[in-house]
Chains A and B, each alone.
Chain A
Amino acid sequence: MKLLIANGYVIDPAQGINAGKNLLIEDGRVIGLLERSDQAPEGAEVLDATGLIVSPGFIDLHAHLREPGAEYKETIASGAAAAVAGGWTTVCAMPNTDPVNDSPAVTRFIIEQAQRAQLANVFPIGAITKGCAGKELSEMGEMKSAGIVAVSDDGHPVPTAGIMRRAMEYARGFDLTVVDHCQDLSLSAGGVMHEGRWSLILGLKGMPAAAEDVHVIRDCVLAKLTGASVHIAHVSTRGALEAIRRARELGLTVSCEVAPHHWTLTDEALADYDTNTKISPPVRSRDHVAAILEGLRDGTIDAIATDHAPHHADEKALEFDQAPFGIIGLETAVGLAFDLVNQGIIDLERLISLCSTNPARIFSLQDRGTLAQKAHADVTILDPGCEWVFDVASSKSKSRNTPFHGRGMIGAAVATIVGGRVVYLNPNYTRLTDTKHHNAAGK
């Protein structure tokens, strides 16, 4: 089966392409880029992308899909549906499920569930330690054979430098990137928000930025010791970014991602004790947000990841201290990323690098993050001018925990193609036509 994405503007940073082109795909792979004036091949379905940006598929390095174990919050199918509705063709699933993904059996289960859903690519991330308990290494080699793309104990920072050192040394042998949720638990224990003026006002226990800083610095030092590829999850502090910059100057393989809420919200958003602003790491003060924006601008930050963390409404309807951390993010991330473009902080090409090119590189995802010949036919089609309002009631996620309900956005992913199949098409963009139409219209 052939699909021609016609009349769009192709931006593929991996190939340095930034031009009006037609994209032809067949049997799940990219055939190549054609000139707009070329005839559509016989029998090809045509997606008319006039006025739209055609990008390599967006890859989310960080999401919680909750299955197995907490299917009342999210399933792999519902999470994948939310992903493609938000423009993500690939989702990397964190292992803190129940049971934890610390064995090849769980890894295979996740992959099978994703194949049944037939929406987004779902790539499991294996646990660093058994049960994410921070004590014994999990079976990384076996999980790699089963299909994991990285290892992480996300949500449970690896507490001791000794275990982390072994994990890095071992993971390196399997070419697995080690992803760490950086938080020194002895500094952040009991905290429910960023420590600062607002935590003092609200009387809530704070998590100091230093808790993240010291942990990131530790991991950078260990990256030097072990030579491992280290990826810092959801960076939220100025100090963490400074440490990552220094690590890069030393030539270490240290990358990092940022989640949209960390540049969109400040700790002032917690003023009404809305549990949909309770996130870990927490949304921080203005100075840290300024540092995040600077990191996005100057290239320190490699990737945008959603940290999609669904929780049931009943769980979020508890006292602030009792409610779980996290918000859903798959359907709002691209809209919030367009804020950065609209404010002139990054350009469209950089946005695509952050959401596709770089994530593919960080987890070594072969033939993804690019529209080069023979690459997987994962495509995200963007409309930078699309004005829309996020309505959580229409979310494909099973959960509703978001602080962005009702937020106006300019810029959206309007079609998502995974393995050559159109798995999401914004209802307002019904331009799928057949070849005959296209060729007739072209004349």
Chain B
Amino acid sequence: MYKTIIISTILSSLLLAEGFDYKGNIGVETAYINHDTVGKRDNQKSLTLALELKEKINEGQFVFSGKAILDKDDKNRRYFDANDLYYKHNFENSDLLIGRNTRFWGAMEFYNHTDNFNTKDWLDDPFDYDSKIGAWNIAYTHYFENSEVAFIAKLYEENQRVQDGKSANNFLPPNYSKKLEREKGEDRATFYLKYSGSGDEIQIDYTLLYQNGYDEQRYLSPVKGSVRQHAYIVNKLMGYATLVNGETIYKTELAYTKSENDYVSDYAQLSFGLEHTIYGIWDKSDLGLLVEYYRYDAKDKQKLGAKDFGNLFADDLTLGFRLSLNDGADSDLLGGLAIDRDNHEKILFIEYNTRLYNKYKLGLSYQHLSPENGSTFKELDRATLELGYYF
């Protein structure tokens, strides 16, 4: 109720203000899932709304962006959330942000070990790693000519809500409770020190990060008859970089996490890959070829590791392509094969996106999960259709 009042007040102020900038979309999403798990739905249908409002005030800017989902069957999946609700003040060589927002950290295309600022929005789609829950934080960033340094204090760890028990996207026990157990309490902030830069003569972008506070991944443990996520304290060093050489982009992400929790092992994460583009392969079409490898290694095998956290990228190779047609509708095709060497399965995926009549966007996708001996998953096909009107 309190959250609704705050959001409504800020929204009204933005809408009443002159010269505010807006954009958004309203759409339908439908998914068909072919599986043989008893008691799970084989389809998901929903209406979606996304809205962004921006209002510039002298040297500052108010930003609101929210999303709403209305699922036909899943009552849990009928919600509204404000991922961005912040004020940013721009100074000559720095800025200060106060509020709730999402951030992107990383270099890889398909999955980012280092993109850990926000809790992922499993209520929307647990397999869409770009779907996130905004985090309340205060951030100060100072800019130099070719680099920047930021200090960020994340003030609160979000609960992770999930789709209902009949959803094929819910892998948690039936007695899962969304209430997060925080090892050091709700008031313990998480701090980040981030340095990013770009090369002068060499086409390189790089970022180094130090984190102290709650880790993004959480383990499950029973509490008072329910199963809850547990957030624990870590010290983490991360880095990611992209380097361009000719028509090839080389990428890497690295992280080392020292856990302060007795159950959780220290762990290292590594990913590297490349993207090579062949221009004008047919008419104006460009073809990008992608190869990416991801690794997660726990130091102490007796303690909790990747599988216990549901991390699917412990020893994975992805081979993919992106065909950009460069037509008036900005059509593109993304596809590939993900080979999960740790969980013994292969995932074939293909996505097609195009614009219709200048205002509508159509997205089609198909995934086939093929398990091998030793996999915890069963064979599964998933086909989705998204159609949105953009304004």
Tell me whether A and B are bound partners.
no
Interface residues of B (CB under 8 A from A): none
